[in-house]
Chains A and B, each alone.
Chain A
Amino acid sequence: MSGQSQSQSQSTAPSWREAETETSGRSRGGPLLLSRYAESLFWLARYMERVENLARILDVTETFVRHGADQSGWLSVVQINADEARFLEKHDKITPESVLRFYLSDRENPSSIAACLFAARENARTLRPMISTEMWTQINVFYNRSRELAAEDARPSGISQICDFLKEGCQFHTGITEGTFFRDQGWAFYSIGKNLERGDQTSRLVDIKYHTLLPSVRDIGGAQDVNQWHALLRSAAGYHAFRRVYPSGMTPAAVAGFLLLNHSFPRSIVQSVHQIEMHLTQLGSGYGLRGANEVLGQLDDLRAAVMGPRIEQILESGLHEFLDWVQLQFINLAAAVADSFWRGKESVGR
C-alpha cells in the first residue's frame, strides 16, 4: 500500500482530547471516526481516481498515436507519472506493448493500474466495517475481473475495450459510493482524497501534454496540433464541454485555461480546490474537528493562485513552473491532512 507507509510505523497520537468530552460516542455531526479509517478512505478514493485517470490517458494515447503515427505519445505517459527511471530499469525502449504492460498489469510498478487497484481493494478491505456491502462487492468483483483482463496479452488494438472496462469500473464505484455511502465525516475524507487526486492528475496531464505535444510556437494551429489538443481534452473528458464554451477555434491557451481554471468543468483544478475546501470546512464547522482549520490554512495560497489570475498571466510567467508549484501544493496539502487527522504530531500541548 504505497502512500500509507507512514502509518505502518507507530506514530504518536494527536494528544488533544476533544473526543474525551463526548461521552455518548457521537461528535456533533455523527459517530466518531477512527483515524486509520479516515486514512484508508482518503487513499481508497485516490487510488480509484488514479486508475480512472490512467485508463483515460492510455486510451487517448493509443488513439492519438494511431492517428498521428508519433510514438512519442507513449513516452509522455511515462513522463506524466515521473516513471522514466523505473521504466528503463525494466524495458530497453518505449514501445506501445512495453508501456501498456508497465501500466496495466505490472504489479511491481506502484503506479500501474494493477497495483493501484490492489491497493484500493486492500483499503476497501480495511474499510469493510464501514463502507456499504455494495461498495465492497463492486470493488472486489472489479478487481478480480481486472486481473483476468490483465492476464490476457494487452495489445494496442484491444486497449480501447480494456480502458472502457476500467473507466466504467471506476465510475460504477463512484456511483455506488454516491448512492450508498453514509454521509458522515468519512464522506468528507473520501471526497478530499478524490478531489486531491483529480486535481493532481489534471495538472500532470496539462503539464506533459503542453510541453511534449507542442514542439514550437510556430506549429500552433496546424492540423496535427489541433488533433493533439483534441486528444488532450478527450483524455480529461472535456472535449464536448470545451466546444460548448468555445464553439469555434482551439488555442493552447484556451484549452489549458479550460482544463485548469474553468469553474464548471468537474476535473479542473479550480473545481478540485473548491471541493476540497468545501469538505474541509465541513470537517471543521460541521464535525468540530480542530485539525481542519490548519489544513484550510494550507489551502489559502493554492486557492488564491487558481481563483485569481487568467490563463494568459500563468502562461506568461511559465506554465510548467506553475504546474510544478501546484503539484507541490497538493503534496503539502495531503501531508497536512495526514498530520492533522492520522499521522499525529509530537506532544501538542503536553
Chain B
Amino acid sequence: MTTPPLPMQGAPPPGLLDGYDTGEFYCEMVNGAARDPRIAQILARLTHLAPEDLRRRADIAEAELYNLGITFTVYSDRDAIDRILPFDLVPRILTAAEWDQIDRGVRQRVTALNAFLWDIYHDRAILRDKIVPDSLVLGNANYRPEMVGLDVPHRTYVHVCGTDLVRDETGGFLVLEDNARTPSGVSYVVENRHMMARMFPDLFDGIAVRPVGDYGMRLHTALTEIAPSGDAEPRVVLLSPGIYNSAYFEHIFLAREMGVPLVEGRDLIVEDDRVWMRTTAGLAPVHAIYRRLNDEFLDPDVFNPDSLLGVRGLIDVWRRGRVALANAVGTGVADDKAIYAYMPRIIRYYLAEDAILSNVETHICAEPEGLAYTLAHLEELVVKPVGESGGYGIIIGPRATAEERLEFREKLVKDPGNFISQPMVKLSVSPTLAGGKLSPRHVDLRPFAVTGKSTWVLPGGLTRVALREGSLVVNSSQGGGSKDTWVLE
C-alpha cells in the first residue's frame, strides 16, 4: 500500500485505476494491453471513465438482471427469493492467438474424453495397457456398468463440455478440471454480452468482438445430428428438473434459444419403444433429449428408484437407439478429479499428440508417492476431494492455519484415495469494480464445447471472478461473480 498523495486544489479527480497494482499476478487487462493494442485501447477508455459513471452503470445492470429474472431462486417454506449472479462490467479480453490455443486445446481434450469413454465402456485397451489404473475407472462411483457395450451416435458421449481453465503468472493457460456431465453457465456467457451491449456500448467502439449469440443453434444442430435417423425433422426437447432447480434460468434460456419445449419428467412417457411428450393434441414423439438432470435421476427403473424427476423406461429405449440423450449416461467417470490427473497421458494414448492445454501439476494421493509428497508439502498445496464440485471440501495449504492443516492431515491419511493435490496456481487477475475503483480480482475461464458429429467451441466462455479481495474461489455458491468474455477477431 503506497501512501496517497496530499490533495491539492485543482488536482484531477481520482481515476478508476489509480493505485491499481497486480503484484505478482498476470493481469488480463494490463499485461493483455502489451499483447494487443486493442486491449490497450480498452484500458485507456477505462482509465478515463469517472468512477461514479461506472458505479451508476453497474447499479443499472444489477437492477436489470434482477428484473429480467436472470437469477437463481432460493426456495424456503413459503417463499421464493431470486438472487443474481453478480456481474462485473469490466470485460475479460482474449486475443485471437490466445483463443486459437484454447479452441484447439478444448477440442483436443473433448476428443480424448470421448475416445476414453468409448474405450472404457468397450475394449478397455487403456486399462489393459496400464495407462490408467483399473480401480480408478471400474471402482469409480460415476462408472456406469449399464453403459458397457452400448454404441452412441458418432461415438460422442460428451455433447456439452465445460473446461475450466486458469492462467498462471506467466499468462499460460492451464486446465483445472473438465465438466463432462451437465456443465452450466453458458446462459451467462450470452446474457452478459447482451448486458454489456446495453450498459457499455461505448467500450465496444471500433473493436470487433466475436459473437456468442449462436450457441443455441449450434446445440440444436448437434442434437439433431445424434437423433435417430428416419425422422425428417427430429423433435428436440430440454429435460429439466423444474423450477426449483438453481439452474432453471439456464434451462429456460437454452430452450428458448433452441426453440424447443422445456419439459419435465412428468411431461414424458415411454410407450411402444419410444419417448413421447404429453401435448394438448395427444402424445407426440420425442427424438432427442438435452437433459439437465443427473444420471441418477434419469430413470427410476435403472437408477434411483425414488426419482420423480425422471422418466420410467427412458434408459431402455435410449439403449436401443430410439431416442438420443445428451450428455450420455456415465460421463462422470471421465471428468472425475482422479482421472483428470491422467488426462495428458490419455490424450497422448488416443491421439498421439501432446496436450495443447497443460494440466496443473497433480499428485494423486491414491498413489503412495503422491500421498507422501502431499503430506510433506501440505503448506504449499491445494488439496481437493475427488468427485466433489462447487469448491467444497478444499483446503488451500498456504492459507490454512497450522491447526486446520493438522486436522486435514488426519482426514487425508484416513482416506487418501479421495484426494488429489496441486501446487497453488497464481491465478490471473482482472480489474474489477470494488468500492468505487477497480481492483485486481482473480478469474478463471470456462469455455463451452458442443459436439455432435464434430466439436465446436463457443468463442468466449464464462469468466468467473472471485469478488472477495485475495480470494481464489470463483464458484457462485461462494461469493463469485462473472464477467463478459471477449474474444477479439
A residues whose Cβ falls under 8 Å from a Cβ of B: 7, 10, 13-20, 22-25, 27, 32-38, 107-108, 118, 121-122, 125-126, 128-129, 133, 136-137, 140-141, 185, 189, 283, 287-291, 341-342, 344
- Chain A hits for B276, CB < 8 A: 13, 20
Q: Chain B's nearest CB lies how many Å from the CB of A117?
A: 12
Question: Is the beta-carbon distance between A19 and B279 smaller than 8 angstroms?
Answer: yes
Taken together as a complex, chains A and B put the C-alpha atoms of A342 and B282 apart, in Å, by 9
Contacting residues of chain B (277-329) with chain A, CB-CB under 8 angstroms:
277-285
- List 18 A-B residue pairs with CB atoms under 8 Å apart, sorted by A's residue number: A15-B283, A19-B285, A22-B281, A22-B284, A25-B235, A32-B280, A34-B263, A34-B279, A34-B280, A107-B79, A118-B80, A129-B256, A129-B261, A140-B67, A283-B280, A287-B280, A288-B281, A344-B278
- Chain B hits for A289, CB < 8 A: 280-281
Q: Which of A15, A35, A289, A344 has the most CB of B within 10 A?
A: A35
Question: Of A34, A125, A126, A344, which one neighbours B277 at CB under 8 angstroms?
Answer: A34
Question: Is the beta-carbon distance between B278 and A24 smaller than 8 angstroms?
Answer: no
Given A23-B231, A34-B263, A129-B261, the answer on whether A136 and B69 have CB atoms closer than 8 Å is: yes
Question: Is the beta-carbon distance between A141 and B67 smaller than 8 angstroms?
Answer: yes
Q: Chain B's nearest CB lies how many Å from the CB of A113?
A: 15
Question: Is the beta-carbon distance between B282 and A128 smaller than 8 angstroms?
Answer: no
Give A38's nearest chain B residue, CB to CB. Answer: B280
Taken together as a complex, chains A and B put the C-alpha atoms of A129 and B82 apart, in Å, by 18
B346 interfacial by beta-carbon distance below 8 Å: no
Give the interface SS of chain B, mostly helix, strand, loop or mixed: mixed
Given A14-B283, A19-B279, A291-B280, the answer on whether A25 and B233 have CB atoms closer than 8 Å is: yes
Given A33-B279, A35-B267, A36-B266, the answer on whether A19 and B284 have CB atoms closer than 8 Å is: yes
- Chain A hits for B264, CB < 8 A: 36
Taken together as a complex, chains A and B put the C-alpha atoms of A282 and B109 apart, in Å, by 53
Question: Is the beta-carbon distance between B283 and A20 smaller than 8 angstroms?
Answer: yes
Question: Of B79, B267, B269, which one neighbours A34 at CB under 8 angstroms?
Answer: B267
Taken together as a complex, chains A and B put the C-alpha atoms of A291 and B282 apart, in Å, by 9
Taken together as a complex, chains A and B put the C-alpha atoms of A140 and B67 apart, in Å, by 6
- Chain B hits for A344, CB < 8 A: 278
Contacting residues of chain B (227-242) with chain A, CB-CB under 8 angstroms:
231-233, 235
Q: Which of A16, A19, A341 has the most CB of B within 10 A?
A: A19
Given A34-B261, A35-B267, A36-B264, the answer on whether A19 and B252 have CB atoms closer than 8 Å is: no
- Chain B hits for A128, CB < 8 A: 69, 252, 256
- Chain B hits for A107, CB < 8 A: 78-79
Given A34-B261, A35-B267, A128-B252, the answer on whether A23 and B280 have CB atoms closer than 8 Å is: no
Give A140's nearest chain B residue, CB to CB. Answer: B69
Question: Is the beta-carbon distance between B281 and A129 smaller than 8 angstroms?
Answer: no
B residues whose Cβ falls under 8 Å from a Cβ of A: 67-69, 73, 78-80, 82, 231-233, 235, 243, 248, 252, 255-256, 261-264, 266-267, 269, 276-285
Question: Is the beta-carbon distance between B282 and A24 smaller than 8 angstroms?
Answer: no
Question: Is the beta-carbon distance between B280 and A341 smaller than 8 angstroms?
Answer: yes
Taken together as a complex, chains A and B put the C-alpha atoms of A239 and B232 apart, in Å, by 58
Q: Chain B's nearest CB lies how many Å from the CB of A11?
A: 8
Taken together as a complex, chains A and B put the C-alpha atoms of A319 and B262 apart, in Å, by 46
Taken together as a complex, chains A and B put the C-alpha atoms of A341 and B285 apart, in Å, by 17
Q: Chain B's nearest CB lies how many Å from the CB of A206?
A: 33
- Chain A hits for B285, CB < 8 A: 19-20
- Chain B hits for A17, CB < 8 A: 282-283
Question: Of A20, A137, A283, which one neighbours B284 at CB under 8 angstroms?
Answer: A20
- Chain B hits for A13, CB < 8 A: 269, 276, 278, 283
Given A20-B284, A342-B280, the answer on whether A36 and B233 have CB atoms closer than 8 Å is: no
Question: Is the beta-carbon distance between A137 and B68 smaller than 8 angstroms?
Answer: yes
Question: Is the beta-carbon distance between B284 and A14 smaller than 8 angstroms?
Answer: no
Q: Chain B's nearest CB lies how many Å from the CB of A127?
A: 9
Question: Is the beta-carbon distance between B279 and A23 smaller than 8 angstroms?
Answer: no
Question: Is the beta-carbon distance between B279 and A32 smaller than 8 angstroms?
Answer: yes
Give A283's nearest chain B residue, CB to CB. Answer: B280
Question: Is the beta-carbon distance between A287 and B281 smaller than 8 angstroms?
Answer: yes
- Chain A hits for B255, CB < 8 A: 129
Question: Is the beta-carbon distance between B233 and A125 smaller than 8 angstroms?
Answer: no
Taken together as a complex, chains A and B put the C-alpha atoms of A37 and B232 apart, in Å, by 26
Give B255's nearest chain A residue, CB to CB. Answer: A129
- Chain B hits for A137, CB < 8 A: 67-69
Given A10-B266, A129-B255, A136-B69, the answer on whether A20 and B282 have CB atoms closer than 8 Å is: yes
- Chain A hits for B235, CB < 8 A: 25
Q: Chain B's nearest CB lies how many Å from the CB of A24?
A: 5
18 further contact pairs, Cβ within 8 A, besides A14-B283, A20-B284, A129-B262: A10-B266, A13-B283, A20-B285, A22-B281, A22-B284, A24-B233, A32-B280, A33-B280, A33-B281, A34-B279, A36-B266, A129-B261, A136-B68, A136-B69, A137-B69, A189-B280, A289-B281, A290-B282
- Chain A hits for B261, CB < 8 A: 32, 34, 37, 129
Question: Is the beta-carbon distance between B282 and A16 smaller than 8 angstroms?
Answer: yes
Question: Is the beta-carbon distance between B282 and A133 smaller than 8 angstroms?
Answer: no
Taken together as a complex, chains A and B put the C-alpha atoms of A271 and B108 apart, in Å, by 64
Q: Chain B's nearest CB lies how many Å from the CB of A284?
A: 11
Taken together as a complex, chains A and B put the C-alpha atoms of A133 and B280 apart, in Å, by 24
Q: Which of A14, A128, A137 has the most CB of B within 10 A?
A: A128
Q: Chain B's nearest CB lies how many Å from the CB of A331?
A: 21
Give A125's nearest chain B residue, CB to CB. Answer: B243
Question: Is the beta-carbon distance between B243 and A35 smaller than 8 angstroms?
Answer: no
Given A23-B233, A122-B80, A140-B67, the answer on whether A36 and B281 have CB atoms closer than 8 Å is: no
Q: Which of A13, A22, A32, A33 has the most CB of B within 10 A?
A: A13
- Chain B hits for A34, CB < 8 A: 261, 263, 267, 277-280
Taken together as a complex, chains A and B put the C-alpha atoms of A341 and B278 apart, in Å, by 9
Give B233's nearest chain A residue, CB to CB. Answer: A24
- Chain A hits for B269, CB < 8 A: 13
Given A128-B69, A129-B261, A137-B69, the answer on whether A32 and B267 have CB atoms closer than 8 Å is: no
- Chain B hits for A185, CB < 8 A: 280
Give B73's nearest chain A residue, CB to CB. Answer: A125
Taken together as a complex, chains A and B put the C-alpha atoms of A42 and B407 apart, in Å, by 57
- 4 A-B pairs closest in CB distance: A19-B284, A129-B255, A129-B262, A19-B281
Q: Chain B's nearest CB lies how many Å from the CB of A36?
A: 6
- Chain B hits for A108, CB < 8 A: 78
- Chain B hits for A24, CB < 8 A: 232-233
- Chain B hits for A20, CB < 8 A: 276, 282-285
- Chain A hits for B267, CB < 8 A: 34-36
Taken together as a complex, chains A and B put the C-alpha atoms of A16 and B232 apart, in Å, by 22
Q: Chain A's nearest CB lies how many Å from the CB of B77?
A: 10
Taken together as a complex, chains A and B put the C-alpha atoms of A13 and B282 apart, in Å, by 8
Taken together as a complex, chains A and B put the C-alpha atoms of A121 and B252 apart, in Å, by 15
Q: Chain B's nearest CB lies how many Å from the CB of A338?
A: 11
Give A141's nearest chain B residue, CB to CB. Answer: B67
Given A25-B233, A32-B284, A129-B261, the answer on whether A14 and B243 have CB atoms closer than 8 Å is: no
Q: Which of B80, B261, B276, B279 has the most CB of A within 10 A?
A: B279
Question: Is the beta-carbon distance between B280 and A35 smaller than 8 angstroms?
Answer: yes
Q: Chain B's nearest CB lies how many Å from the CB of A293?
A: 13
Taken together as a complex, chains A and B put the C-alpha atoms of A140 and B64 apart, in Å, by 11
Q: Chain B's nearest CB lies how many Å from the CB of A34?
A: 5
Question: Is the beta-carbon distance between A32 and B283 smaller than 8 angstroms?
Answer: no
- Chain A hits for B278, CB < 8 A: 13-14, 34-36, 342, 344
Q: Chain A's nearest CB lies how many Å from the CB of B251?
A: 8
Give A138's nearest chain B residue, CB to CB. Answer: B67
